[in-house]
Amino acid sequence: MGKLRFIITAVVFCLLSVIYNSGATSAACVSGQQACSSTYGVGQIFFGSGGSLDSTCSQSYCAKQSLSETGVGLVSSSNYQAYAGFNVNREPSLQLVVNTSSVNMGVISTTSTGTGTATFSVGAYLAGGYSIYTDSPPPQIAGYTMTAMSTPAASSQGTEQFGMNLVNNTTACGAPINFGANPVQVPGPSYSYGAVSSNYGTCGKFYYGNNTEIAYSNSSSGITDFTISYIMNISATTPAGTYIMNDVITAVPTY
């Protein structure tokens, strides 16, 4: 029998400065321009009967002013996107929060399946989107590495398997138990657009590839809450012991 424990960690690569230097870098604005990159500059970006682009600040607080704001929200095409509104923050950001510090999948035998879940949340503002990767070898013990599921497949007891997905799993679709969850858009699907990558997106089918994309968004997005569902099966020849995996979750913004 084997006992599997995970340590779930997060590495957030907010490579905004590197990405800017490759083409989206903020450049020195020429006279009359209020916002610019290495390629484009925009002047007169404030329109309206009142308000201010500049903040009014004290040592403790800052405020921006607006009056008669006529249009707010995201406007986009296949090539560009813009956020309208006097008080729109012009600083890009990427957020990744891993909410689970460890997962214990219990004692596993050839007639039982180990399962566990972990959650993380992602959002990207003023970005072209993001990609989320898992960047770790499968569970290991004393130089032995568990066999990862190289194609999306169902759990099979008695066969050595390690895999995961990011959707709701039910026994009706062949999962060993009811567990996991589909992505949750916060505050709702009109604001957040995170999705599961195809190899990890089928109920009752599990897969694992080191350094593979597990989730993504193709546009700026509010927060999406993701749930990772792990499974592990062993064969009669799987070495016994405590298997450890440090699952590094990496977020990469796109512009």
Q: CA triplet 208, 209, 213: central angle to 5 degrees? A: 100
DSSP-derived secondary structure for 153-186:
B---TTS-EEEEESS-B-GGGT-SSSB----EEE
- Report the percentage of the chain scoring pLDDT > 70: 67
What is the domain-level CATH number for residue 119?
2.60.40
The half-sphere exposure of 171 on its side-chain side, counting CA atoms within 13 A, is 4
More confident site: 24 or 17 = 24
Residue 23 reports pLDDT greater than 50: no
Q: Are 8 and 62 in the same domain? A: no
The 10 Å Cβ neighbour count of residue 162 is: 25
Question: Which CA distances in Å does 137 have to 47, 132, 212, 227, 247?
Answer: 53, 16, 11, 20, 8
Q: Which residues contact 28 (CB under 8 A, 6 or more apart)?
A: 36
Please give the pLDDT value at position 81. Answer: 60
Among 23-32, 37-46, 194-203, the least confident range = 23-32
Residue 194 reports pLDDT greater than 70: yes
Of 135, 206, 126, 208, the closest CA to residue 169 belongs to: 206
- Adjacent-strand bridge partners of 116: 230
Looking at residue 170, its amino acid is T
pLDDT digits (tens, 9 = 90+) for 168-192: 999 999 999 999 999 999 989 988 9
Looking at residue 216, its amino acid is Y
Q: Are 43 and 65 in the same domain? A: yes
Among 19-28, 120-129, 180-189, 228-237, the least confident range = 19-28
Q: Are 108 and 52 in the same domain? A: no
Its domain, for residue 184, covers 2-15+95-254
Residue 235 reports pLDDT greater than 70: yes
**Residues 244 and 136: beta-carbon distance below 8 Å:** no
The 10 Å Cβ neighbour count of residue 230 is: 25
Mean pLDDT of 49-66: 64
DSSP-derived secondary structure for 112-149:
--EEEEEEEEEEEESSSEEEEEE-SPPPEETTEEPPB-
End-to-end, the C-alpha distance of the chain in Å comes to 47
Q: Are 211 and 224 in the same domain? A: yes
Count of structural domains within the chain: 2
DSSP SS3 for 197:
coil
Q: Are 250 and 167 in the same domain? A: yes
Q: Are 185 and 195 in the same domain? A: yes
Residue 249 reports pLDDT greater than 50: yes
Of 147, 171, 146, 155, the closest CA to residue 113 belongs to: 155
pLDDT digits (tens, 9 = 90+) for 63-114: 666 655 555 556 666 666 665 555 555 677 889 999 998 999 999 999 999 9
Q: Are 114 and 225 in the same domain? A: yes
Q: Are 208 and 104 in the same domain? A: yes
Residue 13 reports pLDDT greater than 70: no
pLDDT digits (tens, 9 = 90+) for 151-166: 999 999 999 999 999 9
Joined tokens for residue 178 = 């009811």
Please give the pLDDT value at position 128. Answer: 83
Of 73, 113, 74, 119, the closest CA to residue 98 belongs to: 119
Q: The pTM is what?
A: 0.71
Joined tokens for residue 30 = 């020429």
Mean pLDDT of 116-120: 95
Please give the pLDDT value at position 59. Answer: 74
Please give the pLDDT value at position 190. Answer: 86
Q: Are 8 and 32 in the same domain? A: no
